[in-house]
Amino acid sequence: MAKKKTKFMCQDCGYESPKWMGKCPGCHQWNTMVEEFLPSDNDRRRFVTSDEGTMSKATSIRSIQKEMEPRIFTQITELDRVLGGGVVPGSLVLVGGDPGIGKSTLLLQTSSKLADQDHPVLYISGEESVKQTKIRADRLGVDAEKLFVLAETDLEYISKAIEEINPQLVIIDSIQTIFRSEVTSAPGSVSQVRECTSQLMRIAKTRGIAIFIVGHVTKEGSIAGPRLLEHMVDAVLYFEGERHHTFRILRGVKNRFGSTNEIGVFEMKEEGLEEVLNPSEIFLEERSSGAAGSTVVASMEGTRTVLVEIQALISPTSFGNPRRTATGIDHNRVSLLMAVLEKRVGLLLQNQDAYLNVAGGVRLDEPAIDLAIAVSIASSFRDKPTRPSDIVVGEIGLTGEIRRVSRIEQRVIEAAKLGFERAIIPKKNIGGWTFPEGIQVIGVQTVDEALNEALGGQ
């Protein structure tokens, strides 16, 4: 009997090697190389399905008839927003997040909403029994006639169940527990995840069934398994938030049927996840009035404007190297802005510890928050509070100039709705639009000028 050939594959990035190595050359992680058997010629023939044997012909793009696929509304406004307006039939959506963050809770609530609308839903759990899923459903108040639950990990039986029930939505919780018997490696390995996702994608596209798959995350926060997994699916949603805080943020990082970087905000309660339709009020409701180092910024998350508070604490250091700690914003960006403040404004920050935080657990990564960060740092360093009725928006260049930002009108309108009286924005953004009533718009060109407006006369 011929000896089976083996290879070693990294379980984090998918790097292949003919021999074992302690450190993966691809992702530089230790002890991630696992031995896997190479499929034989007979195994490869078994992988080929009947629909793969037919060859499709190329068609002129002018002759293709465009059909508008009706989206399925989940009745969960925040989820529909992130998906681009609802669930697209035939789409494959990957949902990732830390353990215990609420992925299964959200998908079970979504299944209930769709089943209540007379859409058959199949919820497949590879980690819980049917009775355990029922206990969780009772706690969430889920009781729908057309919600079917299956505890199975073999993809062959899962495919048969999908054919029998013919649902409009399938939930796979989670992809790391599903396996194909033809693949010799263990469930959760790179080969199993890749092959199972490929088969699920084929089912979704050929039968027009929307499939949501849950993916575990690594300790670095990325979805476990090969990066190919995120390329194969139509949408990637990340569920973010601290386990000890009640707020959860659903962020779309990839979406073939809508805009990316959309966010949906939820609050975790005893009965499950509840939508937060106006997150700006929630993020600002505990803001201290008259405290130095606090600034409000209008940030764009996809098509939504979110007003959040940026807090800074600057204190003298007793060590040779001052600390730079940032939560919710890029640490390197904070160091860059502190260098600009020291060089262009004259703030002596080289002997100061800096601690920055975005209140509410939100993560901001757009350059329009630069000016708010700089104002917060200067406010704490000078011990001068900013006005509670001010918002600050602007990108800072290395020469100290304030650069224009996108969608400034939408940001200022949202601030005016929440009762803010002044908006400090880049001077290049003034002109070509009408200011909303009740708010004063001030244009600035340099960081020094912005600090004088935000902290002057205090």
- Quote the radius of gyration of the chain (alpha carbons, Å): 26
- For residue 341, the 8-state DSSP code is I
173 annotated as belonging to a binding site for a ligand:
no
Residue pair 102/268 in contact (Cβ under 8 Å)? The answer is yes
Q: Identify the helix (H) or strand (E) that includes residue 200.
A: helix 190-207
DSSP-derived 3-state class of residue 202: helix
Q: How far is CA 388 from CA 88, 278, 291, 323, in A?
A: 43, 19, 9, 28
Contacts by 65-72 with C-beta closer than 8 Å and gap 24+?
A: 72/114, 72/119, 72/168, 72/169, 72/210
Q: Return the structure tokens found at 445.
A: 């060109």
Q: How many CB atoms lie within 10 A of CB 225?
A: 25
DSSP-derived 3-state class of residue 375: helix
Residue 275's beta-bridge partner residues? 266
Q: Return the structure tokens found at 90.
A: 């035939």
99 annotated as belonging to a binding site for a ligand:
yes
Q: Tell me phi and psi for residue 219, to 5 degrees.
A: -70, -20
Place of tokens 């975005």: 358
104 annotated as belonging to a binding site for a ligand:
yes
Place of tokens 């290395």: 398
Residue pair 180/156 in contact (Cβ under 8 Å)? The answer is yes
Q: Identify the helix (H) or strand (E) that includes residue 190.
A: helix 190-207
103 annotated as belonging to a binding site for a ligand:
yes
Q: Return the structure tokens found at 426.
A: 């880049």
Residues marked as binding for ATP?
97-104
Annotated binding-site ranges: 97-104
